[in-house]
Amino acid sequence: MKYFISTINFAPEMKEKISDVIPKMIDNGIKNIEISSLHPYEKDLDLTKYNANILIHNFAPPIKEDLLINLCSPKNSEKVKEFIKERILLTKKLGQNYYSFHAGFRVDYLTALHDYKDALTREQAMDKFVLELKDILKFSEKEKVHIGIENHCCIKENKNNLILYNISDWDELFSRIDSRYLHLHLDIGHLKISSNEHDFCEKKFLEMFGSKVIATHVHDNTGHKVDCHAPFGGDFWFNEDHWRKLNNLEYVILETKSVGDMNYINYMIDFLEEEI
């Protein structure tokens, strides 16, 4: 198992360029790096030049055009698939075999908490997501790159805008697609909020899908409304009983807004090593 540090630890507002953040992380002794979404676009960014193990996540590195990574999109799914396939090839070029992205949206642009007139039904969104994901997996299997789909952070007000935040959606997904290259990219902070807001048992979720997890985003929050990507410590709610259910875990990714505090980063890694 490997521990990776997300760039969000050194760029909490995500305004910093990737080419500025990675050298800063390497200078701090970090060699396993995940590039998070929402960094600004950079022309001719070369990730292969860095002496580091680099994973890429979702809309990273970004293209110049704004694009919501949403396989459910009736308008943009072809562009999204093109982006994902390019990132699969980049993952392979970087010497890695795992790329993760966010689960589907029932709306194209989630900018506010309200009902969208053109929102897909849950059934329409799941059908579209499964259809497009099968195409992605056909490509990724050929390239021998594993795909992780991140569970959504869903508050009550957003339940009609998202899929794949609860037990039933994930059960359906794995029932409809059987591939050893498909995984649940477990975001622990998202699970905390979604399970609290929608009243399902997080331990049952892990019992059902824990074997599908090879990578996890680790961070904390209050369990309601806002996912603040907080650091964690001795009172962390995700304990040894939870970790034991992740029996195929390969990547533990620290996704906290620790503002580059290496003392805190090292403390959290030491804590996790004792728990896992």
pLDDT at 80: 97
Question: Which tens digits make up the pLDDT trace of 142-191?
Answer: 999 999 999 999 999 889 899 999 999 999 999 999 999 999 999 999 99
CATH of the domain at 191: 3.20.20.150
Question: Which tens digits make up the pLDDT trace of 30-87?
Answer: 999 999 998 999 999 999 999 999 999 999 999 999 899 999 999 999 999 999 999 9
Question: Which tens digits make up the pLDDT trace of 203-249?
Answer: 999 999 999 999 999 999 999 888 999 999 999 999 999 999 999 99
**8 A C-beta contact, residue 229 and residue 190:** no
In angstroms, the CA 174 to CA 176 distance is: 5
Return the structure tokens found at 203.
């331990």
pLDDT at 116: 66
Exposure on the CB side of residue 240, measured as CA atoms within 13 A: 5
> Could you tell me the residue range of the domain that residue 19 belongs to?
2-275
Q: What is the mean pLDDT of residues 249-276?
A: 94
Instruction: Report how many domains make up the chain.
Output: 1
Exposure on the CB side of residue 175, measured as CA atoms within 13 A: 9
**8 A C-beta contact, residue 119 and residue 106:** yes
Indicate the pLDDT class of residue 14, thresholds 50, 70 and 90.
confident
Residue 230 backbone phi and psi in degrees, to 5: -80, 150
pLDDT at 110: 57
